[in-house]
Structure 1
Amino acid sequence: MSWNDFYQRQQALAEVLDSARRDLSAAFETVPGPFRDIDELLAALHRKWMLQLTGRVEVALTDTDAAPHGDRVEAVTAAWRRTAQDNPGLRAALDVHAGSPALQDVTAREHRMLAIAAGLAEEHEPPQDAARVGRAFVQLLRAAPDSDRHARPGRLRRLIPSF
């Protein structure tokens, strides 16, 4: 991929996300030129999400590991929520296409990464098991109302043994 291709793809992604913020369904009616099909576009959107998410998770874990009573679950929770909050169009676009075959494998890898980063799964566990734990973790993140997110920071930690 040339630099020109890279910039064209970045511009197309920005336009899709801008359109998604205004009208999510209309944003995906046509596939922008640099992408062959919707699957390639969704893969690029997920890659964009993962670049931001993994960066925030790594920073959160570094800060947590340096803290005397750091909590990996809370650190990963905060990183995921901050990434989603800062990228509402991107998160909405991925959510509306969550059932797409193009996103199944990459989403499973994302869930696995989150489970391992939070300390809820180990690297040596079967990938599908770690992904299942990560999926449950994300469901818990999404289920907590905004008011509970700040009021009871240990809530997720108490729920985790139940899955």
Structure 2
Amino acid sequence: MGWSDFYRRRDELAAVLDRAERNPAAPPEFDPDVFADADELLLALHHRWLQQLTGRLGVALTDGDDRVDAVLTTWRALAAEQPALRGLLDAHLTDPEAVGREERLLALTSGLAELSEPTAEVSAIGAAFLALIRSEPAVRTSRKRLLSRA
């Protein structure tokens, strides 16, 4: 991809997010000359989400000792700042690999799972943690309880 393509994709992502502010649950409208299909668009949006989340998590983890709280607070803050992006992803992203990457990121970064554990278990822990993150109010729970919910 050259710079011209990069800028076209960047601008199209911004336009998609602007349109999604009205209704993120609606199917995303996009230029088919820039993204081949909705799946390609959603993966690009998810990449953007993970870039922002990963950067913020890096900062948040240097500020305190409670990794679970840092991940929970950071995810929620980014979702609040980027409601169109998070809304599009929640409503339309179905790619299991992309969803699994985010789940594993959350599980590992929070310290609820370790790299030595099976990938499926790490993903299950991350999925349970993500469900907890999305719930209001946040309820602190143990790793054992998260595993039983998965």
- Structure 1: state its 5+ residue gaps: 65-69, 150-154
Q: CA deviation at 1:127?
A: 1.1
1:75 to 65, 70, 79: 70
Aligned match of 1:122: 114
Q: Kindly indicate whether residue 84 of structure 2 is the aligned counterpart of residue 89 of structure 1.
A: yes
Shift of 1:26: 4.7
- Once the two structures are TM-superposed, the CA of residue 29 in structure 1 deviates from its matched residue by 4.4
- Equivalent residue number for residue 137 of structure 1: 129
Q: TM-score, normalised by structure 1?
A: 0.83
Distance 1:137 1:88, change over 3 A: same
Contact 2:72 2:133 in 1 (8 A): yes
Corresponding residue of 1:67: none
Taking the aligned partners of 2:143 and 2:118, their CA distance within structure 1 comes to: 19
* Alignment match, 1:162: 145
CA gap 1:76/1:136 in 2 versus in 1, 3 angstroms = same
Q: Pick closer, same or farther for the CA change 1:28–1:131 going to 2, 3 Å.
A: same
Q: Deviations over 1:20-52 (max 9, x none)?
A: 111335552454421111111011000000000
Aligned CA RMSD, in angstroms, stands at 1.6
Cα distance, 1:3–1:54 mapped onto 2, change above 3 Å: same
Please tell me the residue identity of whatever aligns with 1:75: A
Percent identity, aligned pairs only, is: 45
Q: For residue 128 of structure 1, report the CA deviation from its aligned partner.
A: 1.2
Q: Decide which structure has greater helix share.
A: 1
- After TM superposition, the runs of 4+ consecutive aligned structure 1 residues lying more than 2 A away are 23-27, 29-33, 158-161
Give the residue type in structure 2 aligned to 1:90: L
Contact kept? 1:42, 1:94, Cα under 8 Å = yes
Query: For 1:11-90, what aligned pairs fall within 5 Å after superposition?
Result: 11-26=11-26, 28-64=28-64, 70-90=65-85
SS of residue matched to 2:117: coil
Structure 2, unmatched stretches of 5+, are: none
